[in-house]
């Protein structure tokens, strides 16, 4: 247990020491939030009572969680596999499964401060006003339901090589972000894109946050889709890891 905790701490510290990682992870959602704050701020863009600035804040929390997961696990894991770091860990007393579990846990730990920072920016510059308890509830909800993103990052890290990791991760950020309604409300999209959005985890992740702010019940559909992604991607991660373990790659 002590060895696992030490390895987990090592992973988190490595992430936080990388200024490039921090710049991308923190910079993207904050910059996009500030860029999209325009005259639509006073209007209502979805059914209910959630105004544009609040909608955008929740969306950028989701986007930040997505960026953190894909960069923390996806890009870095593929690089570690190419460098032989993953193979070196096999000769340590750390169980093989702990490599995957630690990557997911490290991603989740990094996601939380990103979500909190976007909330702070929303309160300080976006004019979003909420009771303190609601800020905490929103951060906790968006953090817990970011698990599919963390598992997705690890899956991508096992799926692609170091040369293709960055373009694949970047493409996924913006595909899941745009088509999941994180930049443009899904209600404003064409019919085909509205349908496509409902199969993406980014749409359902933000949807839970918006439902909380709008005073609605947290829809079962959102939970089921996110849980389905965790199960499917988790299965993919286990399969890929076992294959590479058998080949002596990871």
pLDDT band at 22 (very low <50, low <70, confident <90, very high): low
pLDDT for the residue numbered 88: 61
pLDDT band at 126 (very low <50, low <70, confident <90, very high): confident
Most confident of 6-20, 81-95, 195-209: 195-209
Integer Cα distance of 39 and 186 in angstroms: 19
Mean residue pLDDT across the chain = 81
Question: Is the C-alpha dihedral spanning 128, 131, 133, 137 positive or negative?
Answer: negative
Angle between helices 147-159 and 52-69 (to 10 degrees): 40
pLDDT for the residue numbered 208: 94
105: its two tokens: 């846990």
pLDDT band at 93 (very low <50, low <70, confident <90, very high): low
Distances (CA, A) of 44 to 51, 68, 172, 184, 188: 5, 29, 28, 13, 12
Closest CA relative to residue 210, chosen from 55, 64, 43? 55
* Spans of all domains in the chain: 2-247
72: its two tokens: 């923390």
pLDDT digits (tens, 9 = 90+) for 134-186: 999 999 999 999 999 999 988 998 888 877 878 888 899 889 999 998 988 88
Structure-model confidence comparison of residues 127 and 149, the more confident one: 149
217: its two tokens: 């019940």
Q: Are 107 and 154 in contact (CB under 8 A)?
A: yes
Start-to-end C-alpha separation, the chain: 21
Integer Cα distance of 190 and 92 in angstroms: 53
Q: Are 151 and 226 in contact (CB under 8 A)?
A: no
pLDDT digits (tens, 9 = 90+) for 29-85: 888 888 887 655 555 555 457 888 889 999 999 999 998 888 877 667 777 666 665
- Give the residues across from 51 on adjacent strands: 44
What is the arithmetic mean of pLDDT over 88-111? 73
């Amino acid at each position: 247990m002590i060895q696992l905790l030490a390895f987990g701490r090592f992973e988190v510290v490595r992430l936080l020491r990388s200024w490039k990682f921090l710049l991308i992870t923190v910079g993207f959602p904050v910059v996009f939030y500030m860029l999209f704050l325009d005259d639509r701020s006073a209007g209502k863009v979805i059914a209910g009572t959630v105004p544009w600035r609040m909608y955008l804040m929740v969306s950028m929390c989701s986007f930040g969680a997505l960026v953190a997961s894909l960069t923390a696990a996806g890009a870095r894991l593929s690089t570690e596999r190419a460098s032989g770091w993953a193979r070196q860990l096999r000769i340590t007393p750390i169980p093989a499964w702990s490599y995957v579990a630690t990557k997911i846990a490290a991603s989740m730990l990094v996601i939380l401060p990103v979500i909190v920072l976007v909330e702070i920016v929303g309160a300080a510059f976006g004019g979003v006003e909420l009771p303190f308890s609601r800020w905490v509830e929103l951060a906790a909800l968006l953090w817990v339901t970011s698990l599919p993103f963390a598992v997705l990052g690890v899956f991508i890290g096992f799926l692609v090589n170091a040369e293709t990791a960055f373009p694949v991760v970047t493409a996924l950020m913006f595909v899941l972000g745009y088509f999941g309604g994180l930049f443009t409300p899904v209600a404003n999209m064409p019919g085909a894109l509205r349908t496509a959005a409902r199969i993406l985890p980014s749409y359902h992740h933000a949807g839970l946050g918006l439902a909380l702010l709008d005073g609605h019940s947290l829809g079962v559909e959102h939970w089921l889709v996110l849980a389905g992604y965790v199960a499917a991607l988790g299965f993919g991660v286990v399969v890929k890891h076992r294959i590479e373990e058998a080949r002596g790659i990871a």
